[in-house]
Amino acid sequence: MCGIIGIVGREPVAGHLVDALKRLEYRGYDSAGVATLEAETGLTRRRAEGKLRNLEIKLAAAPLSGLIGIGHTRWATHGAPTEANAHPHATSRVAVVHNGIIENFRELRAELEAKGQHFASETDTEVVAQLVDWYLQQGETPATAVATTLKRLTGAFALAFLFTDHDDLVIDARRGSPLAVGWGDGEMYLGSDAIALAPFTDRVAYLEEGDWVEITRTGATVHDETDAVVERPIVTVSATAFQVDRGNYRHFMAKEIHEQPEVIGHTLARYLDLSASTVRLPPALPFDWAKLDRLSIVACGTAYYAGLVGKYWFERYARLPVEIDVASEFRYREPPLPKNGLALFVSQSGETADTLASLRFCKAQGQHTAAIVNVTTSTIARESDVIFPTLAGPEIGVASTKAFTCQLSVLASLAIAAGRARGVLSAEDEKRLVGALGELPGLVLRALRVEPKIERLARETAKVADVLYLGRGSSYPIALEGALKLKEISYIHAEGYAAGELKHGPIALIDEVMPVVVIAPHDPLFEKTVSNMQEVAARGGRIVLVTDEKGAGAASVATLETIVMPDMPDLLAPIVYALPVQMLAYHTAVFMGTDVDQPRNLAKSVTVE
């Protein structure tokens, strides 16, 4: 994780570095720091534990005026989030910021200590500064010192270097972690993503694996992993990709929850032809749904739960066997994959390290690969055979909301397309299902209307220590997602369970205190879930039922609260029912006073395994 930024500028850069870091805080916020080249003091750092405002306070007390600098916001991996471990790490000759992990740092540190280099932190990053410093001492230039160092590093990283006595040079490098280079007017920039560079420029080049770049005020020289000079295309990033303000909302998460009717609408417009009532996918898919033997869905976190709903849909509507796993397990168990298999990766950021590694594994195994991604310039997007973008816009809240429901909207569209291609769904079925999806934005909007009731419920939820979420069928992943959302941002322990599994363990937890949130639209499994609710009620449990009018009427169980969703076809329920669980988590966290958009210990883009 971590976010990095660099500016070779014409005016003092410290303020701009901090502004850019604010846009990268989603990548981690354990500590932050900047380094600039100062006229008086040379290579100078300011670093602070905790969020960026602490760094701003330090900079206000002791300003920097250098015209060139690098900056970092950290998600701690090696070493506690102290000031000493905060980036940039530096020697008298070089400073470095780093996103990723240097796996062989212990060996390198031992080697460098034996040579007399002195370390000041517990981080893996510092070996990079020390190694470059060592090569500089041996008479190498900054560029050759970096090139030699890169060949000695194992692991995944994005790095940026600033050198003493070189006031027109920043070098950066990428292996496994994203980096963009930005072209300004007599200024140049680098950053972990284009959003960080948005206030400065919309003209960026995305680096390829293994690239390293010498950046000066007038341009950039890109080298590939063999050190050969190469060209990377400069693209113009659309302005909408940069809209990251909170509007009138208190938190990004609230804004993103409320954006869902709109962004789901945008996303569906890309995949559906509503006038013809058909799904419209890219014309030349590199695989044939009808010939697939198996679909493997791989993802992490909330994106994994989207994939889990997708499994129910692909199996039901396309009779396509689906295997699904979290990427961190999938990549290491090296599953046997069928000859005609499609591997589908779901990722908001498109940079999640385990998901990316799984994609590479599947490619090496000869699978067709496809990705549902929100960031179309991401590494996963670029390395997949085909991408199915979600049009959620930038998602800033660390807890994913709108990206999730957009992922589900794409998965539903794909399942219908697969069903048609495999002869499971008739044209009539497709018409009915596509028509249903056309209603989705309106239904999501109506689901938002229960917010006042959920807010009242959240006041009570904020007082408990544990919450259990239950669901069956495609509501089961929503129970898992509800529990994940709650624990992520309110720090209340929560578990999601398949309702039928209640009796195999979690029923022992039922008491008069713990709320049991039951996700149960009135679908063919409703009666089964009612039986599970009765088991809870019989033991004095407190039930919060999320259902529709029909379900509320038929539940025949006393509830603490019943949240009523509009009536809708089964296909849509997991998407619409995601909203009440998102809102419950959000308002509970607000009552608890936690940092909703940047919950402790988490980061939005997880580029370490």
Contact flag: residue 602 with ligand G6P (CB under 6 A): yes
- Out of 281, 541, 604, 609, which residue is the one contacting ligand G6P (CB under 6 A)? 604
The mark string for 355-374 relative to ligand G6P (x by CB under 6 A, - otherwise) is x-------------------
* Closer to ligand G6P by Cβ: residue 21 or 372: 372
Question: What is the DSSP secondary structure assignment for residue 377, as one 8-state letter?
Answer: T
Residue nearest ligand G6P, Cβ-based: 301
# of chain residues touching ligand G6P (CB under 6 A): 16
191: closest CA among 207, 211, 167, 214?
Answer: 207
* Closer to ligand G6P by Cβ: residue 123 or 379: 379
Q: Is 2 a catalytic residue?
A: yes
Which of 2, 300, 362, 406 is catalytic? The answer is: 2
* Closer to ligand G6P by Cβ: residue 142 or 310: 310
Least gap, CB of 339 to ligand G6P (angstroms): 27
Least gap, CB of 222 to ligand G6P (angstroms): 26
Least gap, CB of 168 to ligand G6P (angstroms): 36
* Closer to ligand G6P by Cβ: residue 5 or 606: 606
The mark string for 335-354 relative to ligand G6P (x by CB under 6 A, - otherwise) is ------------xxx--x--
271 C-beta neighbours (distance < 10 Å), count: 22
The packing angle between helices 402-421 and 301-318, to 10°, is: 20
Q: Do 330 and 370 form a contact (C-beta atoms < 8 A)?
A: no
Contact flag: residue 379 with ligand G6P (CB under 6 A): no
Single-letter code of the amino acid located at 579 = L
- Out of 37, 398, 408, 596, which residue is the one contacting ligand G6P (CB under 6 A)? 398
CA 579 to chain centre: 19
Angle, alpha carbons 475-481-486 (nearest 5°)? 130
Q: Is 604 a catalytic residue?
A: yes
- Which phi and psi angles does 178 have, rounded to 5°? -70, 155
Contact flag: residue 251 with ligand G6P (CB under 6 A): no
Contact flag: residue 52 with ligand G6P (CB under 6 A): no
Contact flag: residue 303 with ligand G6P (CB under 6 A): yes
Angle, alpha carbons 123-128-131 (nearest 5°)? 125
Q: Contact region for ligand G6P (CB under 6 A) — 99-107, 261-269, 274-282, 297-305?
A: 297-305
The mark string for 548-587 relative to ligand G6P (x by CB under 6 A, - otherwise) is ----------------------------------------
Q: Do 571 and 440 form a contact (C-beta atoms < 8 A)?
A: no
Q: Do 437 and 317 form a contact (C-beta atoms < 8 A)?
A: no
| Matching residue, tokens 């040579």 | 115
* Burial class (CB within 10 angstroms; exposed 0-12, middle 13-18, buried 19+) of 297: buried
Beta strands in 453-523 (DSSP E): 466-471, 493-498, 515-519
Q: Do 368 and 376 form a contact (C-beta atoms < 8 A)?
A: no
- Out of 24, 300, 387, 589, which residue is the one contacting ligand G6P (CB under 6 A)? 300
448: closest CA among 596, 551, 566, 573?
Answer: 566
* Closer to ligand G6P by Cβ: residue 27 or 522: 27
* Closer to ligand G6P by Cβ: residue 380 or 546: 380
Which of 58, 311, 402, 604 is catalytic? The answer is: 604
Question: What is the DSSP secondary structure assignment for residue 26, as one 8-state letter?
Answer: G
Tokens coding 420: 């048609």
Q: Do 253 and 397 form a contact (C-beta atoms < 8 A)?
A: yes
Q: What is the rounded distance in angstroms from the CA atom of residue 523 to the CA atom of residue 247?
A: 38
Least gap, CB of 596 to ligand G6P (angstroms): 13
Which residues belong to the active site? 2, 604
Q: Which residues bind ligand G6P (CB under 6 A)?
A: 300-303, 347-349, 352, 355, 398-400, 602, 604-606
